[in-house]
Amino acid sequence: MTMDTAVAVSVDAMLEDLRTLVEIESPSRELDALTASAKAVAAVMESRLGGQAVLVESEAGPHVHWSAGGDPKVLILGHHDTVFPLGTLERRPFTVEDGHATGPGVFDMLGGLVQAVHGVAALDDRSGVEILVTADEEVGSRSSRALIEERALACGAVLVCEGAADGGALKTGRKGCGTFRVTVAGRASHAGLEPAAGVNALIEAAHQVLDIAALARPDAGTTVTPTVASAGTLDNVVPAEATVVVDVRVESADEKERVESAFASLAPHLDDAEVAVEGAVGRPPMPESASAGLFAAARRLLPGIGGKAVGGGSDGNFTAALGVPTLDGLGAVGGGAHADHEYLVVGAMAERAELVAGLVNAIRRGSVPTHARR
């Protein structure tokens, strides 16, 4: 790959920084751990990039923002929270062996953060570059969304350093995703003496599950999947309450509206039962059109690199929905996100860091169309 840099990217240095971040566990909602993690991320940025990385406090933990100064041109986006509970590191310590780095969060997405920082560090000119690393992506980005959208609009182009798709492919589109919680209220009674006196919330929930599952439209890319259910208190009591949690993925804004409207319209089947719904498709779809220009630039830098639309969501969904050109999956090559076999391919680290740097230069030179900033 041809890339204008002042220094070569060092894999050994990237692994050193990756070890530092992995060994400070950072589960979502663990505020003390996230504070320590944010400070470590900031220290890595300042060490490799110079300047000051600012901790932006939030109820979800600190976000980290670094800017090279100058007219903002490109936002590099990531997160430092992980899904693994405290104590995972003791069971799965950071290890580099047989060409793979393993440990909690190496692929999703600490490896991508490190690669992005080192890619930017290798540039002879970093002006116009911003890096935002949030603390709550894994739990919905409620505290960071406004900041993400603000900086995306200010910069006009977004590079998301989430882990790559299979085979190292970039993520050129993402489904919108959300979670719904359906609560059924019935009436308790003795299951043996007078079952008819009750209103069985579990039976009502079963009806609702069938209605909900029927909302899926595979032909339109819409999946509606009941994932968690609970009901009842004792084996001889007609259940007075039940809950059903549902995962929803959609490819279009029209499907988002259809599914949300259908959930709002759910009605009970049993007399005297009540149904209440919470939730929404919180991450809007990221259409492939949002990544087209940036993906073309990536292919010029790295011919043959693949692109793939995926079902999972990221903070790139928010920026793409604003009309800001967004390319995702620029982070680590590997796999096993959210699983014990999570890994990063060490041999791909330098190339991915160089790809980020090359895209930054392409954006700043104006060879990639960007959003009209406001």
Query: The tokens of 132 are what?
Result: 């935002």
The pLDDT assigned to 374 comes to: 47
For residues 373 and 258, which has the higher predicted lDDT (pLDDT)? 258
**pLDDT, tens only, 54-102:** 999 999 999 999 999 999 999 999 999 999 999 999 999 999 999 999 9
CA dist., res. 333 & res. 356, Å (int): 13
Give how far Cα 11 sits from Cα of 14, 99, 118, 305, Å.
5, 12, 9, 21
Output the CA torsion 295→299→305→308 (10° steps).
Answer: 20
> Letter for the amino acid at 28?
S
Cβ atoms within 10 Å, residue 341: 11
Q: Is 44 helix (H, G, I), strand (E, B) or coil?
A: helix
Q: What percent of the chain has pLDDT over 70?
A: 97
Query: The tokens of 3 are what?
Result: 């890339």
Give how far Cα 80 sits from Cα of 211, 261, 327, Å.
38, 34, 19
Q: Is the dihedral of CA 92, 97, 100, 101 positive or negative?
A: positive
In this prediction, residue 229 has a pLDDT band, given cuts at 50, 70 and 90, of very high
In this prediction, residue 176 has a pLDDT band, given cuts at 50, 70 and 90, of very high
Average pLDDT over residues 193-211: 98
Query: The tokens of 361 are what?
Result: 């230069």
Residues linked to residue 222 through DSSP beta bridges, in sequence order: 217
Contact 118, 10 (CB under 8 A): yes
Compute the C-alpha angle 48/54/60, nearest 5°: 115
In this prediction, residue 5 has a pLDDT band, given cuts at 50, 70 and 90, of low
Q: Is 198 helix (H, G, I), strand (E, B) or coil?
A: coil
In this prediction, residue 6 has a pLDDT band, given cuts at 50, 70 and 90, of low
Domains of the chain: 11-174+286-364 (3.40.630.10), 176-283 (3.30.70.360)
**pLDDT, tens only, 360-370:** 999 999 888 77
> Letter for the amino acid at 134?
T
The pLDDT assigned to 8 comes to: 87
The pLDDT assigned to 3 comes to: 58
CA dist., res. 101 & res. 322, Å (int): 35
